[in-house]
Chains A and B, each alone.
Chain A
Amino acid sequence: MDWKSRLRRVTRTEAFSGYALVSPTALYAILMLAAPLATILAFSFFKDGYLVVVREFTLQNYIDTWSDEIFRAILMRSLIVSGLVTLVTVLLAFPIAYYVSFHVEASKKSRWLFLITIPFWTSYLIRVFLWKVILGYNGVVNSALLGVGIIDTPFQMLNNVPAIAITLAHAYAPFAILPIFVSLEKIDRALLEAGQDLGESKMMTFLRVTLPLAMPGVVAAVLIVFIPTIGDYVTPELIGGGKLPMVANMIQAQMLPLDNKPLGSAIAVSAMVVVALISFGFVFMNRRFLRGQK
């Protein structure tokens, strides 16, 4: 048996080297991510006992979750807020990405991107809190309006959905700008000249050439904003004043103060499934733009 040379032959292959190198990171992701996610999934089918989890299969958590009006209302609110945030963020971000990609000199592009990403890396909690200061009853906006004399009594701008949407749109701005920027950068500028050369106006060239080619970036931006915002905890807590909880706040309440882990898991899994279905639906709807793209 020439097992030694056979072993050497196996260990020399490219696939083996790849697996060997990626294994520490992959193992970590499996232990710390895949296994916990699987556990949550399993827990969601278990019974809750007092302080312990009873390992007995049941669908009761899902029945409880979905028959709970509060859950349905909160999930609906989360979806609406996230949808709104996504719409606002992407619409606000597209012109910026377009500006940096098409109207900024090549040498200054990375400076602009750096400028755009800096706020994203500064303390999230404090940024959210500052929006509370800006929008508050005697906050920046109200005192400015009062000072100029446009209004007599301050606006109530906090504790509502638009306030949450503005705060999140601010927080996720770079996530929307960067993918759109990348897809705009990939567009061969000669295509646009060709569009105009073939008699299209600038506007029509934008609609018929630029926009379809930028769609993969827009789709990525939508997903990368929509999915994490559904799970945001801090903004509803601070800006919504705790009166407009979203799914994350509900999961937190079940997991920590109420300590009903199976129900909390069922809520988490339900929310994830809904988000995943919406995301797949969205990708499917845009598949004609994504074809041939990588």
Chain B
Amino acid sequence: MKLPGLRLYALVYLLFLYAPIFLLPIFAFNDGTIIAFPLKGFTTSWFGQMFGNDTLARAVRNSMIIAVSSAVLATTLGIFAARAGSRFSFPGKGGIMGLIMLPLVLPEIIVAVSLLVVLLGMGMTLSVFTVILGHVLICTPYAIAILNTAFSSLDRSLEEAAVDLGETKWSTFRLITLPLVMPGIISSLLISFTISLDEFIIAFFLAGNEPTLPTYIFSQLRFPKQIPMIMALGTCLVLLSIVLLTIAEYFRRRGIARSGGKDTGGFL
């Protein structure tokens, strides 16, 4: 059964999804200050402008610190929860897991506002650290979703076999479990990193005076003069995201193939 109409629709839909991303490099290399057609000519000067910008440099540094810390912490918390969720049953499991996964559906503004109120109430100064607290919260559900696949495709008797052959709980985890879920862990680190790097609302509320990449971009979008440079920056970010995602996808698939499971789909 072939439906040529449906296939055409799918291709048009993909074009719709990718249209903004295709435009990005076009304007990043366009030698004109106004983001509109017709194009003016080729230039790489917008990329050059990026490197001389001190605020941008600070934003990049902050975002890297935030994204790396959030990725590591969220993945660590994700390992605990995914292991507990895929291996043990205990009363109230649904409720506890529900709370942990809640940020997946909760509007980010609610997370941001409520954290802001509490952190200020505790007398904390808004900084890179407070953004990390928020980002760990929203990255953890994604980490769990990825790690759940890794942990539940792990045959339980592999760990039992290691214990049966004389290993302790911990050496079994180190020798068997960890190597087998490692692709999932790498995939989770990369995805969490990407989410954190891109997150705007929580950073907007919780960063205080510290710029992060998205808040910096947001602040510059008001100034038409800055926009070509932002296009160049965006091009770099999109490239980085695609590279990270491709690596993450590679490890996710390898993990499934390794533990002999069946590939059932994407990240979510």
* Distance of B254 from chain A, by nearest CB (Å): 12
Q: Choose among B10, B35, B88, B117 the residue that contacts A14 (Cβ–Cβ < 8 A).
A: B88
Asked if B80 contacts A121 (CB within 8 A), the reply is no
Interchain CA distance A25-B191 in the complex, whole Å: 18
Chain B 9-40 against A: per-residue CB contact (8 Å), 1 yes, 0 no? 11001101111110110010000001111100
B50 contacts partner chain A, Cβ-Cβ < 8 Å? no
A135 to chain B, nearest CB (A): 11
With CB as the reference atom, state the residue of chain B lying closest to A26.
B96
B20 and A103 contacting across the interface, CB-CB below 8 Å = no
Indicate if the CB atoms of A110 and B253 lie closer than 8 Å: yes
| Residues of chain A with a CB closer than 8 A to B97's CB | 22
Tell me which of A25, A125, A139, A182 contacts B218 (CB under 8 A). A125
Chain B min CB distance to A284 (Å) = 17
Stretch in A58-66, A68-76, A225-233, A285-293 with 4+ CB within 8 Å of B: A225-233
Chain B residues with CB below 8 A from A170, complex form = 16-17, 20
Question: A19, B109: Cβ atoms under 8 Å?
Answer: no
Q: A1-9, A33-41, A156-164: which one contacts chain B?
A: A33-41
Partner of A121, one of B90, B201, B234, B245: B245
- Is there a chain A Cβ closer than 8 Å to B194's Cβ? yes
Supposing A228-B108, A234-B200 touch, asked if A18 and B89 sit within 8 A by C-beta, the answer is: yes
Given A121-B245, A228-B107, A261-B117, A103-B84 contact (CB < 8 Å): no
CA distance A99 to B93 in the complex (A): 36
Q: Is the interface of A mostly helix, strand, loop or mixed?
A: helix
Q: A138 and B36 in contact (CB under 8 A), knowing A21-B80, A22-B84, A118-B242?
A: yes
Contact present for A95 and B137 (CB under 8 Å) = no
Which residues on B sit within 8 Å (CB–CB) of A115?
A: 14
Flag if A30 contacts B99 (CB, 8 Å).
Answer: yes
Per the bound structure, the CA–CA distance linking A133 and B24 in Å amounts to 10
Contact of A125 among B115, B116, B214, B253 (CB under 8 A): B214
Q: Is the CB of A123 within 8 A of B9?
A: no
Question: B105 to chain A: which residues have CB within 8 Å?
Answer: 223-224, 227-228
* CB of A272 within 8 Å of the partner chain: yes
A selection of 20 A-B contacts at a CB cut-off of 8 Å is A18-B84, A22-B96, A23-B80, A29-B102, A32-B137, A40-B117, A109-B263, A117-B245, A122-B242, A125-B198, A125-B214, A126-B217, A126-B231, A138-B34, A143-B37, A224-B104, A233-B108, A248-B109, A252-B205, A255-B113
